[in-house]
């Protein structure tokens, strides 16, 4: 199995890479600026299975690079079975302070690039009867205050997941995973312990999840769900039904 994953060097992306690689997958691991982390993860995984992980660097806002990412994957490994649209920008956009630049960034990474990567990958995925997994967000249909553009972009990705399932079936399955509180954003706005505890208490399981929880859901949709398409699974400790 050959997997192209965006934003695979760190955090949830790295957990997905480790789990799929342990199951025998070959990976084309995309990164934008996390070169050190990407090379370290590549070395770690290639040490267990030689030449099983390759890297591709690209700014996903540059649409001209997306087809070449897919082609590079196929040239390197001979096929493409899975596309995981994991990379994401995340930052607040209070009404009155939204600029076209932040719109382009949030819509570009969370919606536009997944669409155009999926379009480029579709012919190869049809040949392999492969699948696409999009990392969405529970705030796709429950918008978060002060994050209007991010919430709208993820809402678009949720709709795109269903639309692509309709467009690319029966050969290609398209599903999504919507994380809840898994890893706190690397932003001082999220460092307040009281705010974190309020979020944790809003989950039904009263705890945060782990990146591996998302990775296991992704693995399930890839390898154990041949009759599931057009679905988005919330992995959030029940938070999305308790907001």
SS3 sequence of the chain: CEEEECCCCCHHHHHHHHHHHHCCCEEEEEECCCHHHHHHHHHHHHHHCCCCEEEEECCCCCHHHHHHHHHHHHHHHCCCCEEEECCCCCCCECCCCCCHHHHHHHHHHHHHHHHHHHHHHHHHHHHHCCEEEEECCHHHCCCCCCEHHHHHHHHHHHHHHHHHHHHHCCCCEEEEEEECCCCCCCCHHHCCHHHHHHHHHCCCCCCCCCHHHHHHHHHHHHHCCCCCCCCEEEECCCHHHCC
Which active-site residues does the annotation give? 150
């Amino acid at each position: 199995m050959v997997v192209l994953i965006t934003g695979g060097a760190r955090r949830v992306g790295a957990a997905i890479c480790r789990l799929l690689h342990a199951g025998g997958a070959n990976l084309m691991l995309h990164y934008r600026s996390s070169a050190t982390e990407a090379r370290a993860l590549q070395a770690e995984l290639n040490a267990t299975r030689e030449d099983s992980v390759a890297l591709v660097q690209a700014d996903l806002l540059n649409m001209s690079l997306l087809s070449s990412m897919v082609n590079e994957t196929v040239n390197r490994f001979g096929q493409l079975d899975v596309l995981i649209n994991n990379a994401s920008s995340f930052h607040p956009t209070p009404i009155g302070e939204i600029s076209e630049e932040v719109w382009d960034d949030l819509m570009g990474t969370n919606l536009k690039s997944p669409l155009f990567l999926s379009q480029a990958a579709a012919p190869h995925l049809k040949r392999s009867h492969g699948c696409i997994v999009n990392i969405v967000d529970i705030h796709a249909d429950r918008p978060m205050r002060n994050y209007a553009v991010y919430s709208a972009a993820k809402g678009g990705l949720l709709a795109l997941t269903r639309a692509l399932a309709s467009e690319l079936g029966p050969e290609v399955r398209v599903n999504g995973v919507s994380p809840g509180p898994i890893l706190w954003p690397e932003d001082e706005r999220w460092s307040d312990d009281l705010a974190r505890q309020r979020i944790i208490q809003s989950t039904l399981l009263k705890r945060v999840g782990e990146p591996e929880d998302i990775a296991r859901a992704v693995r399930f949709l890839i390898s154990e769900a041949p009759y599931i398409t057009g679905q988005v699974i919330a992995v959030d400790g029940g938070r999305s039904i308790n907001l």
